[in-house]
Amino acid sequence: MKWTGPDGFAYTIVLDKDVYRPSDDTFLLAKAVHANLQPRERFLEVGCGSGLVSLVAARAGAKVTACDLNPHAVAATRRNAEANRLRIEALESDLLASVTGAFDVVAFNPPYLPTGPDEVLPGPLNLAFDGGLDGNETVLRFAAQIGERTPMPRLILVVHSSLADPAPLEGALARLGYGCSVVADEAHFFERLTVRAFTRAD
């Protein structure tokens, strides 16, 4: 797959049948990362999938770590970093659980679809879609793990779908000292996608 990023660069993206294929939400997050990341910042992509967002961050001059619970995604991110001659550390992790070090910016395209027991997909692809019954199960675990980090990142960028309520995540991160604003917004035929920027008040 060839993709022209928000920086105008033509990226080569190697796809894998067991990894979420980059889609509108991926491209929207990449655009937000490009607009809000400063050179030489420490950047973490949680739930990296094919690593497309991390590629944009690496090309912008950030020190990039990418993680995913799906081992196929970790392997795909490594392949794509090599294909685009970019340096990315990719590791397997349940959200931030196995990630060490401090980060200035964290980006997350979470599994946000409200998912009942009869809607669970077989195999590792379910990790990319299943947000629990209300779509917020994974993002709230993510927020709890952010709260355990010292120091916490200055900026967190999270994709949100209108299919789920944004209030639980906004409330959880507000209690950690983060204010919220929408930095990217796109309407699609069955949902509206946004990227919410959570910024530390200090």
What tens digit of pLDDT does each residue of 39-69 get? Answer: 899 999 999 999 999 999 999 999 999 999 9
Q: Does residue 121 have a pLDDT over 70?
A: no
Share above pLDDT 90 across residues of the chain, in percent, rounded to a whole number: 79
Residue 130 DSSP one-character state: B
**Model pTM score:** 0.93
Residue 185 is encoded by which pair of tokens? Answer: 């917004």
pLDDT tens-digit readout, 72-115: 999 999 999 999 999 999 999 999 999 999 999 999 999 766 65
Which among 78, 104, 108 has a CA at the least distance from the CA of 96?
A: 108
Residue 108 token pair: 């997350």
Q: What is the pLDDT of residue 189?
A: 80
Q: What is the pLDDT of residue 129?
A: 55
Please name the residues in contact with 191: beta carbons below 8 A apart, sequence gap of 6 or more: 161, 162, 163
- Looking at residue 113, its pLDDT comes to 62
